[in-house]
Amino acid sequence: MADVTESIALAAARDAEHAALRAGVEVRALHDLDDLAEARRVWDAVWPTVPGATEITGNLIKALEHAGSHVGGAFREGRMVGSSLAFVGRTRGEHGWHVHLHSHIAATVPGAADRGIGTALKLHQRAWALEHDIDRIVWTFDPLVRRNARLNIGKLGGTAVEYLVDFYGQMDDAVNAGEPSDRLLLQWDLASDRVLEAVEGTATALPSEEWRALGAVDAVVSTDDGPHRMETDAPVLLVEVPHDIVDLRRYDLGLARAWRLRVREAMEPVLRTGGRVVALTSDGRYVLEAQR
């Protein structure tokens, strides 16, 4: 774990405050039982499951918070409209173990998406981690959910470092039930130049045409017959994903599963051998760099 300077931590706190102001919310760490219970209700509203079940039990949330985990809540006019949970973990690297914060779950209530609340929660999480001398946050997300990729890679400057096939196994919530739980593992190096540029809004997403002009080659493309995998050993790949996989699952589950398999086939081997997802094009394709 790298030493975090006071100036970086203070700048991160200001970034978090500005993001909360833009989203029209107050974000704070949660500690008392009532707030922790409300955070759980937010998650259960987003990922409804079988009657009587819950995403995370209340006693476990309290135990994690008491043990030093981070639970965050976003409030608008006194009502919680978003919440997140992250706990301390370790990653084994070439120089030994690296302590990080693992962001397990984050969500906004139905009807409040795409209003900057997710960004505000993440930047609050970043400020909290840096304040506690933690310089990296990792989390997983579904590679087919393009709006999450835009936030995680485009707005926050994260890098996808691993493709996890059916990572959670079968899930029973309404969003994921019946589908393989493939996930990308995102690494967010909180004090890196890449993240600073993304948070400051100075990073620019290039269109696919410009990446092709720089030598990138399409690895997954949409055709009239569905997604098609292109065989290539180019060092930089473009991987297309559907515009809205959640909507696609509702009317053509077979096509949604075809997208899952083609994207998995293109990304998993490259990430397993040291590649990285380094960008998202302005039109929503992953930019995947193989290990050099």
pLDDT, tens only, 108-146: 998 877 789 999 999 999 999 999 999 999 999 999 999
Residue 1 lies in a domain: no
Instruction: Please tell me whether residues 151 and 213 are part of one structural domain.
Output: no
Q: 79-100: per-residue pLDDT in tens?
A: 999 999 999 999 887 788 899 9
Instruction: Evaluate if residue 61 carries a pLDDT over 90.
Output: yes
CATH of the domain at 121: 3.40.630.30
Residue 84 lies in a domain: yes
Instruction: Please tell me whether residues 37 and 182 are part of one structural domain.
Output: yes
> In 3D, which of 84, 89, 87, 39 has the Cα closest to residue 66?
87
Q: 229-245: per-residue pLDDT in tens?
A: 999 999 999 999 999 99
Q: Which value, to the nearest 10 degrees, does the dihedral of the CA atoms of residues 186, 191, 193, 198 take?
A: 60
Instruction: Please tell me whether residues 71 and 138 are part of one structural domain.
Output: yes
Q: Last residue of some domain: 161, 178, 200?
A: 200
Q: What is the pLDDT of residue 113?
A: 73
Instruction: Please tell me whether residues 52 and 123 are part of one structural domain.
Output: yes
State the average pLDDT for the chain: 92
Q: What is the pLDDT of residue 172?
A: 64
Instruction: Please tell me whether residues 109 and 165 are part of one structural domain.
Output: yes
Instruction: Please tell me whether residues 132 and 13 are part of one structural domain.
Output: yes
Instruction: Evaluate if residue 226 carries a pLDDT over 80.
Output: yes
pLDDT confidence tier of residue 176, bands split at 50, 70 and 90: low
Residue 145 lies in a domain: yes
> In 3D, which of 218, 173, 200 has the Cα closest to residue 55?
173
Instruction: Please tell me whether residues 82 and 224 are part of one structural domain.
Output: no
Q: How many residues does the chain have?
A: 292
3-state helix, strand, coil in the chain (%, to 5): 35, 30, 35
Counting runs of H as helices and runs of E as strands, what totals does the chain give? 9, 12
Share of the chain above pLDDT 90, in %: 79
Residue 93 lies in a domain: yes
Residue 98 lies in a domain: yes
Q: What is the pLDDT of residue 1?
A: 46
Q: What is the pLDDT of residue 93?
A: 76
Q: Last residue of some domain: 144, 171, 200?
A: 200
Number of structural domains, the chain? Answer: 2
Q: Last residue of some domain: 182, 200, 218?
A: 200
Instruction: Evaluate if residue 280 carries a pLDDT over 90.
Output: yes
The answer for residues whose C-beta is within 8 angstroms of residue 25's C-beta and 6 or more apart is 74, 75, 76, 81, 82, 117, 120
Q: What is the pLDDT of residue 290?
A: 94
Alpha-helix runs per DSSP H in 116-252: 117-131, 146-149, 193-200, 208-213, 245-251
pLDDT confidence tier of residue 47, bands split at 50, 70 and 90: confident
Residue range(s) defining the domain that contains residue 41: 6-200
Instruction: Evaluate if residue 2 carries a pLDDT over 80.
Output: no
Q: What is the pLDDT of residue 175?
A: 60
Instruction: Please tell me whether residues 243 and 269 are part of one structural domain.
Output: yes
Instruction: Please tell me whether residues 140 and 255 are part of one structural domain.
Output: no
Q: What is the pLDDT of residue 171?
A: 64
Predicted TM-score (pTM) of the model is 0.92
Instruction: Please tell me whether residues 250 and 146 are part of one structural domain.
Output: no
Spatial separation of the C-alpha atoms in residues 267 and 290, rounded to whole Å: 10
Instruction: Evaluate if residue 289 carries a pLDDT over 90.
Output: yes
Instruction: Please tell me whether residues 184 and 216 are part of one structural domain.
Output: no
Residue 114 lies in a domain: yes
Instruction: Please tell me whether residues 245 and 177 are part of one structural domain.
Output: no
